[in-house]
Amino acid sequence: MSKRIFIKLTRAGKTVGPFNVLDQNGYSLFSNISKSSLIVGASFVVEDYVLSITLKSQSSCTVEKTQRLQSINSQDFNAIEFVETTKSSLWAHLVDKTLYNSFYTNTEPYVIEYPFNYNNKDEIIQSVSEYNKVYKYLSNDINSRIEANDCWFNKAILYNDIQSSGTLTLEPNPIGNMQEYLRFPKFNDKSKSIIWTKLDNMYQYNTFWSLVKDRSAPLFNSTCESLSIDKVLNQNNMDYSVRAYRKETIRGKDLKVRHILDNKSDVKIVTQFILTPSMISHV
């Protein structure tokens, strides 16, 4: 036996939809249902065993809502009005000086991106050097800070329009441990681990090359996680396998360097300037 149900959206954000409709066991009943049709109200025929449904958005913002089926008269159903919502709030920032990129107990990524434009000839990027001061506060007193030497950004991405280094996981130089040093670079499923060194407040790293598998595929995907970054790395187009040869240098007339700190919130990084030593490419 079957029955007819009616679905109407009451609240949703701008970026959700289209939707899939699932039963209480997670099996798909209907797919690609537009947001506009659910705002007006749509009817579906389902089997009698369906006691609740889940609306799941197909967008990059993974949103789903489960509702048990219940009776409602047509007058009340038609009176339901749709409200468009957005998630927003005021953030009290730097109330606790010992925490920098912590918002309501969550460690949010601190991201800074530098664009570079070179002259008429393509240039090959050899390394990245950044002059930073990394402070750690021992208490909420502004004078209680010390300069830390064992922490920095933990991720980096170098890219232009056709090349990308993929996600570089940055780890401090294991001073005095040659055995550990020789293990780098380390190749992970979705990143490549390399080491950074510090000398006179200059943080430096190299050992990167382009990891793009298919230049006809995009390097980035859209995301809803951060309004300040409208793209995340397309990991499906990155090749993190070990390469003895075929290491394509990152070269071009432009470059973007993105540094990310998302594994801690108890340090404050003050950037002075960044250098990208390069050499002219004659190829």
At 59-82, the pLDDT tens digits run: 766 678 888 888 888 888 888 888
3-state DSSP call for residue 164?
strand
**Does 41 or 281 have the greater pLDDT score?**
41
Listed by start position, the domains of the chain span 2-84, 102-280
Percentage of residues of the chain with pLDDT beyond 70 = 91
pLDDT of residue 268: 92
Average pLDDT for 38-58: 89
Identify the pLDDT of residue 12. 82
- C-beta separation of 159 from 167 below 8 A: no
pLDDT for res 2: 87
Q: What is the pLDDT of residue 174?
A: 93
Which among 89, 30, 86 is positioned nearest to 54, based on CA atoms?
30
Q: At residue 283, does pLDDT exceed 60?
A: no
Query: pLDDT (tens digit, 9 = 90+) per residue, 82-123?
Result: 887 765 666 667 788 898 888 777 888 899 999 988 877 888
**Residue whose entry in the numeric block shows the structure tokens 């953030």:** 91
C-alpha dihedral (49, 54, 58, 59), degrees to nearest 10: 170
Indicate the residue type of 247: K
pTM for the complete prediction?
0.70
What is the band of 222 on the pLDDT scale with cuts at 50, 70, 90? confident
Asked whether the beta carbons of 174 and 195 are under 8 A apart, the reply is: yes
